[in-house]
Structure 1
Amino acid sequence: MLQKENESEKKEESFFRAVHQKLNRVKKPGKAKKVVPKDRSKMVAVTLWALLSSLLIFSLLAVLLSVNTRSVINEVRRDFNKPTEDEQIQMSVTAAENFLSGFIHEYVNVKNDMDSIEQRKEKLESYMVTKVDGIFEDERRYDLTGLKGNRILNEYNLYNVKKEKGYNLFQYKVNYTNQFPVEKEVEKTVKDGKKEKKVKEKVMEIQEAEKQLLLNIPVANKGDAFAVNAVPYFTRIYDLKGKIISFKKEHTREEYTGSKKESIEKFLQSFFEKYASQKKEDMVYMMKKPESLQDSLSFGYVENVKIFETKKGFEVSCDVEFKEKENEIPVKEPFTLELTETSGQFYVKDLKHQ
Structure 2
Amino acid sequence: MKFIKRKKPPKQQLLKDKAEISPKTARIVFLSALGLLVATVPLSFLMAKNANVNATQNKEALAVVQKDLASDTKETLNEDLAKRYLGEFVPLYMNKPSDEKARADRDKNLATYMVKKLPKEEETAITQKLDSSSFFTFEKQKQTYVAKYVVTYTVSYPVEKERTVTKKEGKKTVTEKQKYKEQESSQRTVLLMIPFIQKNGQFKVTSLPYYSSIPSLKAGDMDGKTIQNNSFDRVDEQEEAKLADFLKQFYQLYGSDDKKQLSYLMANPVVLGKGFTVKQGEPAFYKDGKNYLIVDTPTIQEGDSGNNHKEYVVLTVVRQDGKFYIDKFAHDLGGIVE
TM-score by length of 1: 0.38
**Higher CA-based Rg:** 1
The one of the two structures with greater contact order (alpha-carbon pairs below 8 A, sep at least 6) is: 1
More helix per residue = 1
**TM-score if structure 2 supplies the norm length?**
0.40
